[in-house]
Every structure is written in C-alpha cells, then in structure tokens.
Amino acid sequence: MARPVIMSVDDDPQVLASIERDLRDRYADDYRILSAESGAEALEALIELQRRGTPVAMLLVDQRMPSMEGTELLEAVAPIVPDARKVLLTAYADTQAAIDAINRVGLDHYLMKPWDPPEDLLYPVLDDLLETWQATVAIPYEGIRVAGTTWSPGTHLVKDFLARSLIPYQFLDIERDPAGRSLVDGLGDVALPAVFFPDGSTLIAPDARELAGKVGLRTETSTEFFDLIVLGAGPAGLAAGVYGASEGLRTAVIERSAVGGQAGTSSRIENYLGFPNGISGAELARRAATQAQRLGAEILTATEAVGVRLEGSVKVVTLADGSEIPGRTLVIATGMTVRRLKVPGYERFEGAGVYYGAAASEVTTYRDQEVFVGGGATSAGQAAMMFSKYCSGVSLIVRGDSLEKGMSAYLIEQIAGTENIEVMLNTRITEVGGGDRVEWLSLSNTADGTEERRDASGIFVFVGAVPHTSVVDGVVERNQQGFILTGPDLSVDGARPAGWKPDRDPYLMETSVPGIFAAGDSRHGVVRRVASAVGQGSVVVSMVHQYLETV
C-alpha cells in the first residue's frame, strides 16, 4: 500500500512552508507530506489521490482562505476522503467557526496559529489523531482477512473481537465473495471462520485467546509477582491500571475478552468530559489501554480469571488455563454481564441475527435493512442512533411507557429528531424464528394487549445486566444480587466484617478481605456511569497504597 498522505492547505505561502517543515520533521518517514495553496487545488489533488487508491490520513486546513473557506473545503472533500482526520487551522477570532465545524463536517480538532514549540502544541495532537486513524482505517488488500459466513456465530465472535479491539480486518463472505470462497477451498475441509494474516499464516476457527496472541495482544505476564492485579479492563479497571502503573506499582490488568467492558460496546459516548464531539467506547478503551501500557502496566486480553485464593497476605488469581498469578493486592473491576433473556429463539439465533449489545462488526451486514433494538436505557439509545446512520429503519422496543426513566435527555432528543427510528413503548419481544438465521419476531403490546408478527433480520438486545463477580464467590462478601460489598456497607451495627484482622475499619472501596478492593459496576451502591467508573478506578489506587504501607 502507498504511504498515507498528510495534506496541509493554506493560502499564505510562508505559513504553508512552516506547516510543511513541521510535518516533514516529524512524519516524513511514515507519511507522504503534500500541500496546496487553495481549496480548489486541494480538492483536485484529493480526487486524484482517490483515483489512485492512495489513503489520506489527515487534512490540516486553514479556515480563512479566499474563494473557499476551510470548513467549506472539508465539507466538500468528506465524501472523497471520509476516513481522513480533519484539523482546522484557526486564529483566535475563528473559534466559533471551528465549533460549528464539529457538527457540520465531523471536525476532529482545531488548532490556533501559531503553535510554538510544535513539540508541545502540535505534535501531541497530531500523534493522537494519526494513531486513531491507523487503528480504525480499513487496510485494502493487505492485512487481516476473515473468511466465513454472515450468519455464523463463530464468525461473528471473531469479527466482534477484532472490531472491539480496533484491529482492522476485511470480511469475506464465502457465499457471496468468490475470492473468499477460493481462499477457503484452498485449505481443504476445515471449520470456519478462517483468518488469514499478511505473513501468510492462517488460523482456523480460533478462540479469542489464540486470536489475541496472533494479533500481538498480550495473553501472558512477563513477571511472576505483582504489587497490583486488576480483574477487568473496563473503564474502572483501565483507570486502576493507569494510576497503579504511573505510581510505580507492578501492575497487571486481566480481561476475559476485549478491553473496554460494557462501555467498549457503546457506539458513541456523547457526555464524557473532554470529548465535545463524542467518542466510541472502543476508542476510549483503546486510548486508556495504550496509556496504561506506556506507563508500564501489563494488560492481558482474552484471559479469563476463574478463581481467587489467599495464601497469607498474598492474593493468587487462577486463570482458565490453570496458570496462576500472585500479587500483593487485588482490585475487582469485573463489571456487569448482559443477562441472557429466555425469549423463545434467542438462544438458537445468538450470533445469527440475535446479538447482545451493539455489535459494531455487524453494521455493514445490516446496511439498508431494518433492525430492532430492545431496551430503554442509554446503551439502547446509542445503538439505535448508530444503526440509524446505516439502516433503512430502526425499531426501538421499550418495555416501559417512556424513555425518560432510563435514557439520557440528549439521546431522547436525538432519537426524536431521527426520522428512521420508530419508538415502540409498552412493547416486548415474545418470540423470534427463522431458518438458519432470524427472519421474523413477534411483538406484544402490554398496554392494549395487541400482538403482531414482523419480518426481522437483526435484533440487538440491551435489557438487563448482572454483576460479573463469580470469580470471588466465597472469598469476599456480596449482597443477594451478587454486587460486592465494600467499606461502610460491610458494617453491621458498627461491627467489622467477620474474620477481619487489621486494627482499622475497611477502607471505602475495600472488601471484606484486607487488600482486596472493588471498583466500578460490580461494586454495590455505585452510580453506573463511565465517568464514575473511571473515578473509582483512579481513587482505589490511593487505598491500595494505604494498605501496602501497613503490611
């Protein structure tokens, strides 16, 4: 593949030369640096690059140009280079134009001129945007290819893991793609999916752990003993990993699937502080994981912890493969697990038309089709908005009589203003059916008793979740619902937990076992928001330090 292009556009020759110099100093080894002195010149060049199949990674465009302003140019080139990161170069007086561009053209960032020194004011911004582009852009011809069938649950699991890990891949449906069929035929009689890699190797129907190891994700530790072990790589676990590693603790974060937890499946988080145009849960998780690893944490993906035991003050985590990881402290940040519903047909068609969570990997499967989203909370609303951009129609199935009870106000407004979303209140799915995939569903209106059967190809379920805390069953105290009790919640009439030995009360986020802590959604009595989970994961590390100072 040709080197990706970074293009700068400015009508002032001196400013353009300065931009080119800074870009070449930093990025010339990996990117082709191009420039244009007008919007018309840039538009012509981008059309030619598209014709040649040359990827464009980033555009840096001056706002104040004659004939065509920067926002007008970005709007014009959006269909030509939809994946390019867009940066607007502004003066102080252009701030409002930049803010307007966030909504008009999906602006990724705006920079005020001048940026001196670039090491502090330019490169960190561009590095971050280019890293995101590299993680999300579809790589033509070269890269990972997944060959399978659209309605295969095994194929869906592989696609979903790669998508949630933000690893680019190309899906080849062997029932429609002759090239995919030919690749698979060349392997003989094998199970599907088959995953082909650029180095010529192939994995046949891999599990998540095998796939993670092949794509370069860590699945084993390099250290025999840790100061801090974190179970779960959702927002709380990743925050604990960042702060633990940054404060000098030997830190391991263990995640049974892809990083991000439930938040990682969110198509768009609009209200997370510091991201004015929103961010996907997977992208937020990727950034946090990269940050934790840069600071020294080891993140193990597709690695399931199945038990915890105590050896004196040492906490030993047992993994599904039988290996063990010991540590001085433990943070349980395992979050919530989507509850599997007992709707006739759900179990049969899971991965073949029924999906728990918003499967970003399935967006192209349902392009221009009608899909159903079950649930009335924020996660369901986010999924409905995501699918509305690609599908001909989205039916939001809500058991309650309003959206206000469980959904954020900004989402309710967005849904109300989206023509191809139908909200069906007081409604539940009672059955799904079909041949080798979902073809229809039955709906029941609990308000008037009416029932109807409708054609359906995709159903995305966001109804109910339970704490994923079985790993510490019999080790720490939990309530009847399975949430972990911490701090003051462990006290009964002022008494400390049974068997508690330290001459102090449990810390705020400490469980009934000294040195074992809980953070995030698996903890009893918390506010279940991404920002809250990040805060808990950050704060819990200070309590880990307090504990370590006493042992």
pLDDT band at 4 (very low <50, low <70, confident <90, very high): very high
Q: What percent of the chain has pLDDT over 90?
A: 63
Domain of residue 434, residue span: 346-463
The whole-model pTM stands at 0.77
The reply to whether 217 falls in a domain is no
Highest mean pLDDT among 162-171, 199-208, 425-434: 425-434
- Report if residue 220 sits inside a domain: no
Q: What is the mean pLDDT of residues 180-192?
A: 86
Are residue 116 and residue 42 in the same domain, yes or no? yes
* Same structural domain, 434 and 516: no
> Are the C-beta atoms of 262 and 530 separated by less than 8 Å?
no
- 518 falls in which pLDDT band (50, 70, 90)? very high
Chain-centre distance for alpha carbon 270:
13
Residue pair 194/203 in contact by the 8 Å Cβ criterion: yes
pLDDT per position as a tens digit, 215-260: 999 999 988 899 999 999 999 999 999 999 999 999 999 999 999 9
Q: Comparing 22-26, 199-203, 431-435, 538-542, which segment has the lowest mean pLDDT?
A: 199-203
Which of 136, 166, 184 is at the close of a domain? 136
In the DSSP assignment, the letter for residue 213 is H
The answer to whether residues 430 and 538 belong to one domain is no
Question: What was the pLDDT predicted at 468?
Answer: 93
Specify whether 323 is located in the same domain as 368: no
Which CATH number belongs to the domain containing residue 90 in this structure?
3.40.50.2300
Does the residue 69 lie in any domain? Answer: yes
Does 15 share its domain with 132? yes
Q: Does one domain contain both 419 and 317?
A: no
User: Are 64 and 94 within one domain?
Assistant: yes
Same domain? For 402 and 459 the reply is: yes
CATH number of the domain residue 201 falls in: 3.40.30.10
Residue 522 included in any domain: yes
Whether 93 has a pLDDT exceeding 80, the answer reads no
Three-class DSSP labels, 481-550 = CCCECCHHHHCECCECCCCCCCCCCCCCCECCCCCEEECCCCECCCCCCHHHHHHHHHHHHHHHHHHHCC
Q: Which of 443, 463, 483 is the last residue of a domain?
A: 463
Regarding whether 485 and 390 lie in a shared domain, the answer is no
pLDDT tens digit string along 276-312? 888 888 899 999 999 999 999 999 999 999 999 999 9
Residue 121 confidence (pLDDT):
87
- Checking if the pLDDT of 204 tops 80, the result is yes
Q: Left, alpha or beta for 533 (phi > 0: left; psi -120 to 50: alpha)?
A: alpha
Average per-residue pLDDT for the chain: 90
Q: Residue 123 carries which side chain, given as an amino acid letter? A: Y
pLDDT of residue 484: 97
Whether residues 353 and 323 share a domain: the answer is no
Local confidence band at 94 (pLDDT 50, 70, 90 cut-offs): low
Would 218 be classed as within a structural domain? no
Count how many residues are written for the chain: 551
Q: Is the pLDDT of residue 142 over 70?
A: no
Check whether residue 485 and residue 418 sit in a common domain. no
CA 486 to chain centre: 28
Q: What percent of the chain has pLDDT over 70?
A: 97
Q: Is residue 333 part of a domain?
A: yes
Candidates 342, 451, 457; CA nearest to 391 is: 457
Closest CA to 461 of 339, 282, 361: 339
- The CATH number that applies at residue 485 is 3.50.50.60
Cα separation values, 205 from 190, 245, 288, Å: 9, 35, 29
**What's the rounded Cα separation, in Å, for the pair 385 and 268?**
9
264-273, 351-360, 455-464, range with greatest mean pLDDT? 455-464
Decide if pLDDT at 141 tops 60.
no
Provide the 8-state DSSP code for 265. Answer: G
Same domain, 377 and 322: no
| Confidence class for position 405, pLDDT limits 50, 70, 90 | confident
Per-residue model confidence (pLDDT) at position 242: 98
| Residue 366 domain flag | yes
Q: How many domains does the chain have?
A: 4
Question: Tens digit of pLDDT for each residue in 336-393?
Answer: 887 888 899 999 999 999 998 766 778 888 889 999 999 998 889 988 998 998 899 9
Domain boundary among 91, 113, 136: 136
Tell me if 267 sits within 8 A of 462, measured CB to CB. Answer: no
> Which range, of 46-55, 86-95, 532-541, averages the lowest pLDDT?
86-95
In DSSP terms, which residues pair with 112 in a beta bridge?
Answer: 90
Find the range with the poorest average confidence among 80-94, 372-386, 407-421: 80-94
Sorted by sequence, the CB contacts under 8 Å of residue 513 that are 6+ apart come out as: 310, 475, 476
